[in-house]
Amino acid sequence: PVPTIGHYLLEMERYFAGMELKIANAKKKCIHSNTTSVEDCGFKFCNYQDEKLECNRAQQAFEERSCTIHKQYTCQKFNSCIDANWAAYAEAVEGAKLNDPGMKAEWRSLLRVECLIEALQQDGSEVGAAIDACKEESFSDADVALTYHGDAPGKPSCDDPHDLSPGTALFGSRWYQG
């Protein structure tokens, strides 16, 4: 599967759940063991504290990464993207509307030139009448008429992914259950 924040967070959840159980079992074994000396327990307790420190560091890295990802996936960025594309659309439409009259005039001129070329290919006695007919003819620009579909559609709604923001109740209930 394509890695996503959800995959990352689930992987971290599994990792830390396993680490927590491992440390809790080691601590329980140390405390309730009859064959372990006080020195052993002291050493194991130090190891437990070291593991706890490492776990806290990893937890901090997990939450910092989640925070960073949360900042990247926001409606503000989505809205910026939409706004930029709508601005480009509006600019393209405006440019098309400005160029539309000139384009239509060029099209009519092209049709008139075609008509005149065909008139010049007539027999000698018919050339003058054919040229006059071309001058009198009104050429249509319907073939190059642009269709404008109006403004861009309304902006879709956007909900920020609230369960990606560490420190919120939703984040805690989503990623720290059990």
pLDDT mean values, one per 10 residues, the chain (178 residues): 70 79 76 59 73 86 78 75 87 92 94 94 91 94 88 76 67 68
Q: Nearest CA to 176 among 15, 68, 17? A: 17
**Residues ≥6 apart with Cβ < 8 Å to 152:** 86, 89, 90
Quickly count: other Cβ atoms within 10 Å of residue 20's Cβ.
14
d(CA 172, CA 165): 9
**pLDDT number for residue 35:** 58
**Residues ≥6 apart with Cβ < 8 Å to 107:** 139, 141, 143, 144
**pLDDT number for residue 38:** 52
166 DSSP assignment: T
State the number of CA atoms in the 13 A half-sphere of 120 facing the CB. 6
Q: Nearest CA to 56 among 29, 24, 16, 27? A: 16
d(CA 2, CA 85): 26
pTM, two decimals, is 0.45
**pLDDT number for residue 127:** 92
